[in-house]
Structure 1
Amino acid sequence: MPKITSSADLRNNYNEISNFCHQYKEPVFITKNGKGDLAVMSIEAYEEITARFELYGALKQGLDDIEAGRVVSAEDAKEMFRKKYPGANI
């Protein structure tokens, strides 16, 4: 269940809200004049979410490349790697 609180509560109970965000790794939704306004979360939770989005983007790009035929065999990939990095052992 999401935690929802008012902007006044954010001003008056900042430490409590901060502790909640860090402890549960979940956002707190802030309302202003009874309507949704902000989502507040810890830096760690934000970084985890953005890392997940980056991973999903990379996976999508890879799947798009496969679908479009932009692929090479494993042997060709190894050969290209060896040419770019001559001392590498793969």
Structure 2
Amino acid sequence: MPEIRPIAELRNTSKISELCHEQPEPIFITKNGYGDLVIMSIETYERQLAMVDVYRKLAEAEKQLAEGLPLVDGEQVFQRLREKHGR
């Protein structure tokens, strides 16, 4: 469940920082009862960015499938990577 806090709690930066690091998701800050800000730890932010990248790549792959582009065998992909990176 999302954490929602009033903007007045931002005065206690240590507490907000601890809360951000304890929560695996963003914290919503309200002002006068309305949504105003979203804050999160760097770890949560980086995880969110990584998920956006995964979703973008999946959408691109689905588009390629819909366009009828030929599939490449997984073993071929790994073989190319091994040749490229010498492993």
- Deviation, 1:62, is 0.6
Within a 5 Å distance, the mapping from 1:1-90 to structure 2 comes to 1-10=1-10, 12-74=11-73, 78=76, 88=83
Cα distance, 1:21–1:67 mapped onto 2, change above 3 Å: same
Asked whether the equivalents of residues 17 and 28 of structure 1 are also in contact (C-alpha less than 8 Å), the reply is no
Q: Give the structure-1-normalised TM-score.
A: 0.74
Q: Give the structure-2-normalised TM-score.
A: 0.76
Gap regions ≥5 residues in structure 1: 83-87
Gap regions ≥5 residues in structure 2: none
Cα distance, 1:13–1:35 mapped onto 2, change above 3 Å: same
- Deviation, 1:23, is 1.5
- Equivalenced residue count is 80
